[in-house]
């Protein structure tokens, strides 16, 4: 292939063109977003068929590959970055984070090693430090940049496992789990599936965990919790939740956490999205006491709107995180002295996934972050207030943060019909859920750009869909 610039760049013309095309197409995509339907026009099978061909013997020029990807993806990219997306608690890939993400790929740094990629380590340490401080968590906690809350929960639970077993005189790193002392596990009846999966990954089994009764908002009931604690035969691992996926509610941390500590247990908090409320002084009392826990999981790609994929595990006593995750071997004495990013994450080689979050936090500043979180909570209340007045709909939750769940008075079939109608109209995109044994329409407000007009359009679309379906 012919070299560009007399070969001085080390890149071929085709390589340069491919990078430019991708950059231009990415910007054009975001500029054109307001004119795009809220959901893909292409179905799954058709989209998959566009890519399922045998791998040819002969390769393609770089720019042809990029134009193929662009053409074949046409109509099959979901408008998840736009303020019309109300599904699944997704962020919107903030543009400044996207811009920084371009650099992440171009730089191609392996974030595993502080010595080899110092700028990345600098930015990642800054992000971890800021997140700890913004959320009011203990200074000096250990933190690792992982792919999201699923892995952050897993990492926190692994740290807890090591600490709780060590307190019972068992070195799990050396001995594994076979023959280890029991660790009772308590988790709320309305916990997200991610911490249950994490329990499985960590060898606890999801069914061994005792599910503690919750109230009508999905918060752990303190009386049931005390009873469950009394039944524990050893210091327990307790999984609490900051932000129930349907209601957005918070467990009563101030009441529960001291009870666990009195019994020598460990509290891990799944705060995938809800923990961000702690960064807003006016709202932080909704999570009062959460800072007393031992470990926390929080996403960056949800409420911070970082591009996928990024989350943080935070552990009060860093040594437990390092012992559980360092690929260098937990019992090496230098592990805690020579700080390596890979000591706090399950991966060794890793994308520099903290860089986009560094950019977003620098861009927003404390004020911008607080404004965004508070605005989303205000918008959730606005949706609830509007739909509570609409005959035919019922709002099923109190507004604790950014989540609203609603159902049709006519029952589950009508709820699903209305949701399908709204999605098919493709102006906005809420998603589905289940609550108290019933189908619900779930509205998550977490896109950085979302404003009153966007949620008003959502309400209008829901109201019109209900009329069509009745
Ligand atoms: C409360 C809660 N925990 C954990 C997760 C899993 O997070 P992730 O998808 O980033 O792994 C989610 C995702 O929606 C969540 O809402």
Q: Could you tell me which CATH number the domain at 100-358 has? A: 3.40.640.10
pLDDT averaged over 10-residue windows placed end to end, the chain, 470 residues: 63 96 98 96 96 96 97 97 96 98 97 92 97 97 97 98 97 95 97 96 93 98 98 97 98 98 98 98 97 98 98 97 84 60 92 97 98 98 96 97 97 98 97 96 98 98 96
Domain boundaries, the chain: 5-79, 100-358, 372-469
* Ligand 1 atom at minimum distance from 301 CA: 10
How high is the pLDDT of residue 220? 98
Q: Does this model's pTM top 0.85?
A: yes
pLDDT at 340: 86
The residues lining ligand 1, judged by C-beta closer than 6 Å to any ligand atom, are 89, 148-150, 192, 194, 243, 245, 270, 272-273, 299, 311
Interval between CA 65 and ligand 1 midpoint (Å): 33
Structure tokens at 195: 């911490």
User: What pLDDT shows up at residue 336?
Assistant: 53
Do residues 392 and 380 touch, judged by C-beta distance below 8 A?
A: no
β-pair partners for 142: 315
Q: Give the model's pLDDT for residue 333.
A: 47
Position 53 scores a pLDDT of 92
198 C-alpha to center of ligand 1: Å?
11
Q: Which CATH architecture has domain 372-469?
A: Alpha-Beta Complex (3.90)
What is the reported pLDDT for 7? 62
CA of 104 to the centre of ligand 1 (A): 24
CA of 150, closest atom in ligand 1: 11
Mutate to test the pocket of ligand 1, among 188, 192, 446 (most ligand atoms within 8 A of CB): 192
């Amino acid at each position: 292939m012919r070299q560009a610039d007399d070969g001085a760049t080390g890149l071929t013309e085709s390589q340069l063109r491919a990078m430019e095309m991708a950059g231009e197409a990415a910007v054009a995509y975001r500029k054109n977003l307001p004119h795009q339907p809220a959901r893909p026009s292409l179905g799954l099978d058709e989209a998959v068929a566009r890519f399922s061909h045998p791998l040819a013997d002969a390769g393609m020029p770089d720019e042809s590959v990029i134009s193929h990807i662009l053409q074949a993806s046409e109509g099959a990219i979901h408008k998840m970055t736009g303020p019309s997306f109300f599904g699944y608690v997704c962020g919107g890939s903030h543009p400044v984070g996207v811009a920084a993400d371009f650099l992440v790929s171009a730089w191609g740094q392996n974030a595993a090693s502080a010595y080899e990629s110092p700028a990345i380590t600098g930015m990642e340490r800054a992000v971890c430090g800021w997140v700890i401080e913004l959320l009011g968590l203990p200074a000096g906690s250990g933190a690792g940049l992982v792919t999201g809350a699923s892995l952050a929960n897993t990492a926190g639970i692994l740290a807890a496992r090591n600490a709780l077993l060590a307190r019972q005189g068992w070195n799990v790193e050396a001995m594994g789990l076979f023959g280890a002392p029991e660790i009772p596990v308590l988790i709320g009846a309305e916990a997200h599936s991610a911490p249950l999966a994490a329990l499985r990954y960590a060898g606890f089994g999801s069914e061994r965990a005792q599910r503690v009764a919750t109230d009508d908002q999905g918060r752990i009931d303190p009386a049931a919790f005390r009873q469950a604690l009394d039944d524990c035969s050893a210091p327990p691992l307790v999984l609490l939740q900051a932000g129930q996926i349907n209601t957005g509610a918070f467990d009563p941390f101030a009441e529960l956490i001291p009870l666990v500590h009195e019994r020598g247990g460990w509290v891990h908090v799944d705060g995938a999205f809800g923990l961000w409320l702690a960064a807003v002084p006016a709202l932080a009392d909704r999570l009062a006491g959460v800072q007393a826990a031992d470990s926390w999981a929080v996403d960056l790609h949800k409420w911070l709107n970082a591009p996928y994929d990024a989350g943080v595990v935070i552990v009060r006593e860093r040594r437990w995180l390092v012992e559980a995750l360092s690929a260098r071997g937990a019992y090496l004495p230098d592990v805690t002295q020579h700080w390596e990013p890979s000591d706090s994450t399950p991966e060794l080689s890793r994308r520099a996934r903290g860089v986009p979050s560094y950019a977003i936090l620098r861009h927003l500043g404390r004020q911008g972050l607080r404004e965004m979180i508070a605005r989303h909570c205000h918008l959730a209340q606005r949706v609830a207030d509007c739909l509570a007045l609409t005959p035919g709909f019922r709002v099923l939750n109190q507004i604790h943060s950014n989540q609203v769940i609603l159902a049709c008075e006519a029952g589950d079939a009508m709820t699903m019909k209305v949701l399908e109608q709204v999605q098919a109209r493709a102006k906005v995109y809420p998603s589905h859920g289940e609550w108290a044994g019933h189908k619900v329409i779930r509205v998550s407000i977490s896109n950085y750009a979302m404003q009153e007009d966007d949620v008003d359009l959502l309400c209008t679309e829901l109201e019109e869909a209900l009329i069509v379906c009745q």
